[in-house]
A and B are shown apart, each in its own frame.
Chain A
């Protein structure tokens, strides 16, 4: 199994630009999580999906952030417009009917 696949691995963008992060969960997993990790705040859950349906988006910082899961094998996290304070490592994780999650390698986002 290839594990959770995220792209891109690194993204540098200018303030105000739209950023789209992508995630392919492990095949057969039915829960998908988006996390953000910073030195100041640690690992924060942004949103999670179960069977492609958003269950809890209370961690999404503001309306500039949106996430979709159009099918069981793909999810996106979009930031529009991006701001320097959005700079962080964004992780996608997935699981199957179990609470433990398996993480992708992350996308390091830098907004300048």
Chain B
């Protein structure tokens, strides 16, 4: 079992819709969870992080964490074509600074 799993997609949504990206992790002791966005040919950039169970909202983005189910998600409201990118879920292991990344979900927002 991979440590961090994501649906590779591609996920396609129409402009203005809600895009839902999902991630599961295997280390039950993981404490910190991150979503990175990576445009084609560019480097990953941090868009959200969440440490506590529940929802965390930042503009059009909402991160959701359920530690009991070992599940973290990212919702993008009012999706825009500029949101088209690969979204990487990352989990910090129980100890240390190591981040483990999922393989990413490719999102396409169609005008």
Assess whether B88 is interfacial by the CB under 8 Å rule. yes
A99 to B33, CA, bound (A): 9
Q: Are B34 and A99 in contact (CB under 8 A)?
A: yes
Q: Tell me if A's interface is mostly helix, strand, loop or mixed.
A: strand
A-side interface residues, number (CB < 8 Å): 21
Pairwise interchain contact A55-B101, C-beta atoms closer than 8 A: no
When the two chains form their complex, are residues B103 and A42 in contact, meaning their CB atoms are under 8 A apart? yes
Partner of A56 from B49, B98, B102 at Cβ < 8 Å: B98
- In the complex the two chains form, what is the Cα distance from A33 to B34 in whole Å? 16
Q: Interface residue count for B (Cβ, 8 Å)?
A: 19
CB contact between B49 and one of A35, A100, A103, A105 (< 8 Å): that residue: A100
Q: A99-B32, A99-B34, A104-B43 are in contact. Are A43 and B101 (CB under 8 A)?
A: yes
* CB atoms of B34 and A55 under 8 A apart: no
**Residue from the list A45, A48, A91, A95 in contact with B44, Cβ < 8 A:** A91
Which residue of B is nearest A35, CB measured? B101
Besides A91-B44, A100-B32, A105-B43, 13 more A-B contacts (Cβ < 8 Å) are A33-B97, A33-B99, A35-B101, A42-B101, A43-B88, A43-B101, A45-B99, A45-B101, A50-B97, A55-B96, A101-B46, A105-B42, A106-B43
Interfacial residues, chain B to chain A (CB-CB below 8 A):
32, 34, 42-46, 49, 88, 92, 96-104
Binding site for B on A (CB under 8 A): 31, 33, 35, 42-45, 48, 50, 55-56, 91, 95, 99-106
